[in-house]
Amino acid sequence: EDQVTQSPEALRLQEGESSSLNCSYTVSGLRGLFWYRQDPGKGPEFLFTLYSAGEEKEKERLKATLTKKESFLHITAPKPEDSATYLCAVQAADSWGKLQFGAGTQVVVTP
Amino acid sequence: EAGVTQSPTHLIKTRGQQATLRCSPISGHTSVYWYQQALGLGLQFLLWYDEGEERNRGNFPPRFSGRQFPNYSSELNVNALELEDSALYLCASSLGLDPSSTDTQYFGPGTRLTVL
């Protein structure tokens, strides 16, 4: 059965304190791995799509990387506006269209 | 460019009633997806429609159903509402059916359904 596990569940950072979020997955054939951020009561906002091991993508203070078993979302010198829940999702080769989400990592960045 | 829109924003129903939720995809997108985000359970895949057809279905009972219209907008219907159906219902859209690609799904703001 496909599984997506995110850690830690929650992360509290000081402004400027870099850190990494982990997403480990078990899936029968990976079509793609997705990162989203979600603010309370709102829909997820798309960040990155990764397709194969070794791939990296960057956007402002965020960088996502992918291996065969896990993905990392690195937050460099975070600001309070980076506070959100970060969600990881995978799409399996045998379940077209369906995204399987992890439970998310809640990040709070304090000034 | 307008994003995915959903209506209503909030919906309050009583147990046993029916709820209808609506979604308009991003212009040019033909695929629409529905997800349920209940407290403590994370996002769960409900349904996927493309070109008016149901393409995939998550592990939900048949009282969760929907349809896609010729203009690619979609409707989610939940019959015989139960208390545990209270959740944020999210709609997403993507470019559409292409076996060679993995579509990125873009989400709307959601409809908060409360069942009393």
pLDDT (tens digit, 9 = 90+) per residue, A38-85? 999 899 999 999 999 999 999 999 999 999 999 999 999 999 999 999
Q: Where are the beta strands (DSSP E) in chain B?
A: 5-7, 10-13, 19-24, 31-38, 42-50, 53-57, 64-68, 74-78, 87-94, 106-107, 111-115
Confidence band, pLDDT 50/70/90 cuts, at residue A95: confident
Out of A51, A96, A101, closest to residue B56 by CB: A96
Chain centroid, CA A20 distance in Å: 10
Out of A31, A43, A49, closest to residue B108 by CB: A43
Residue B20 has pLDDT above 80, yes or no: yes
Question: Does B43 sit within 8 Å of A41, measured CB to CB?
Answer: no
Question: Does B105 sit within 8 Å of A99, measured CB to CB?
Answer: yes
- Mean pLDDT across chain B: 93
Nearest-Å Rg of the Cα atoms of chain A is 13
Torsion of CA B74, B77, B82, B87, to 10 degrees: 10
Place of tokens 């393409």: B55
What local confidence, expressed as pLDDT, does residue B96 receive? 74
Question: Does B109 sit within 8 Å of A44, measured CB to CB?
Answer: no
Out of B90, B106, B109, closest to residue A46 by CB: B106
What local confidence, expressed as pLDDT, does residue B101 receive? 60
Terminal Cα distance for chain B, rounded: 37
Q: Give the integer Cα–Cα distance in Å for B31 and B101.
A: 13
List CB contacts of B70: < 8 A, sequence separation 6 or more.
B52
* Chain B residues touching residue A98 (CB < 8 angstroms): 45, 48, 56, 58
Q: Could you tell me the maximum CA-CA distance found in chain A, to the nearest angstrom? A: 44
Residue A5 has pLDDT above 70, yes or no: yes
| CA-based nearest distance B106→chain A, Å | 6
What local confidence, expressed as pLDDT, does residue B100 receive? 58
Question: Does B109 sit within 8 Å of A46, measured CB to CB?
Answer: no
Nearest to A104 by CA among A19, A39, A54, A15: A39
Q: Give the integer Cα–Cα distance in Å for B12 and B115.
A: 6
pLDDT tens, residue by residue, B78-87: 999 999 999 9
